[in-house]
Amino acid sequence: MSASLAPECNEVKERYDSCFLKWYSEKFLRGSATTDECDPLFKQYEKCLSKVLKDRGIDKMVKEAREDNRENDAEHMRPVSALPFTLLTVPVAHKS
């Protein structure tokens, strides 16, 4: 497992990673998962990262980048159902 972007969040990230890998392999892949049991750990990690980003002023840069790229996000993050049909089909090469 990799380290967190913020060293002060490493411990909670490691706990989340371990939980997720166990849940994914033992429950999700076997079809017995009804909920994400690791969500509370994910929220702890997310809270830790958010605090670090805010403390370092990075949250403002992220917000500005998102605002500057709203148009691109709208184009590239739309649901698959909104894509033109031609993008959803795979061309097949025909032998002559």
What is the CB neighbour count within 10 angstroms for residue 9?
21
pLDDT for the residue numbered 52: 94
Average pLDDT, the chain: 84
List the domain range (segments joined by +) for residue 30. 7-88
Res 33 pLDDT > 90: no
pLDDT for the residue numbered 14: 96
Nearest 10 degrees: Cα torsion 56, 54, 40, 70: -110
pLDDT for the residue numbered 36: 87
- Tell me the pLDDT band of 77, cut-offs 50, 70 and 90: confident
pTM above 0.75, yes or no: no
Structural domain contains residue 95: no
Structural domain contains residue 52: yes
More confident site: 22 or 70: 22
Structural domain contains residue 17: yes
